[in-house]
Amino acid sequence: MVKAPVNKIIPFSNVDGPGNRTSIFFQGCPFNCLFCHNPETIHLCRNCGVCVKNCPVGALNIDADYKVIWNREKCVQCDTCIKVCPHDASPKIQWMTVEEVMKEVRRASPYIAGITTSGGECTLQNEFLIELFSNVLKLGKTCLIDSNGSFDFEADPRVLKVSEGVMLDVKAVEKGWNDELISFPRDIVLKNLDYLLQIGKLYEVRTLIFPNRDRENEETVRYVAEHIRDRCFYKIIRYRPYGVREKNRKRIGEFETDLDYAERFAALAREKGATKAYVV
């Protein structure tokens, strides 16, 4: 039975696609973005035990197999474990079956338009997604994939057949800037941008706007806008330092991107044909 590491499930979200949606966040991501604001989702727990010693209420233990066990009932959600983890992980992960996730979806079902899978990077759980989406479709709900673009959708399009579409991050198009930000080749992301557009499965593109990075921001926004035109939404996201690892904040920015500055790039996107560009 296929299982996947689930970081958390938000039963009702209105920021993860159209309408009210259940958002499912999976653990694990192949990127290591400088600006990641939830770095505790990057890796699976290595059972090093550091967090166990720091939990103030004894909600973490090590079992006979040297695995860290989280006690949900005892946990007071102080997030001390996440703050002290040296491996960008969390001990509060649940390995869930599709049926266990479906129980949560069914509970929310009367009030939602669909589900959105996110992360981390949800496409690392491709087989799980295919099974989950097939079940959700039977409820008459839609399924959206929130992705960093690292999965080759053209090589394996099965998940797209049971999904409404993809919300794709395009973080950087210039190679040097991409390599500084992400530690992962950008080619597959740009290939996905073209492929998803071509098959009509691109719901939205998102680009983060960094403070005082005129050239880099402009290059990315211009490239995306000229590609997508009016065929999908373009969410221009202001960089915010909350949750970003301290050493990275020093490199990338201690302050959030000014709204007027971000609006400049949304205006550029619209000028280049991306009529559905907007700032959040």
Q: Which residues bind ligand SF4 (CB under 6 A)?
A: 45-51, 55, 57, 59-60, 68, 70, 75-81, 85, 87, 89-91
User: In the complex, what is the shortest distance from the CB of residue 72 to ligand SF4, in angstroms, rounded to a whole number?
Assistant: 9
Is residue 118 within 8 Å of 23, Cβ to Cβ? yes
User: In the complex, what is the shortest distance from the CB of residue 254 to ligand SF4, in angstroms, rounded to a whole number?
Assistant: 26
Toward ligand SF4, which CB reaches closer, 49 or 241?
Answer: 49
How many Å apart are CA 156 and CA 132, to the nearest integer? 17
Toward ligand SF4, which CB reaches closer, 48 or 199?
Answer: 48
For 178, the enclosing helix (H) or strand (E) is: helix 175-182
Is residue 268 within 8 Å of 218, Cβ to Cβ? yes
Burial profile 216-237: b = 16 or more Cβ within 10 angstroms, e = fewer: bbeebbbbbbebbeebbbbbbe
User: In the complex, what is the shortest distance from the CB of residue 148 to ligand SF4, in angstroms, rounded to a whole number?
Assistant: 22
Toward ligand SF4, which CB reaches closer, 40 or 131?
Answer: 40
Toward ligand SF4, which CB reaches closer, 77 or 260?
Answer: 77
User: In the complex, what is the shortest distance from the CB of residue 46 to ligand SF4, in angstroms, rounded to a whole number?
Assistant: 4
The amino acid occupying position 75 is C
By residue count, the chain amounts to 280
Toward ligand SF4, which CB reaches closer, 79 or 127?
Answer: 79
User: In the complex, what is the shortest distance from the CB of residue 172 to ligand SF4, in angstroms, rounded to a whole number?
Assistant: 29
Integer distance in angstroms from the first to the last C-alpha of the chain?
39
Toward ligand SF4, which CB reaches closer, 61 or 126?
Answer: 61
How many Å apart are CA 40 and CA 8, to the nearest integer? 12
Quick count: other Cβ atoms within 10 Å of Cβ 83?
10
User: In the complex, what is the shortest distance from the CB of residue 245 to ligand SF4, in angstroms, rounded to a whole number?
Assistant: 14
DSSP 275: T
User: In the complex, what is the shortest distance from the CB of residue 95 to ligand SF4, in angstroms, rounded to a whole number?
Assistant: 14
How many Å apart are CA 253 and CA 55, to the nearest integer? 30
Is residue 222 within 8 Å of 252, Cβ to Cβ? no
Toward ligand SF4, which CB reaches closer, 2 or 48?
Answer: 48
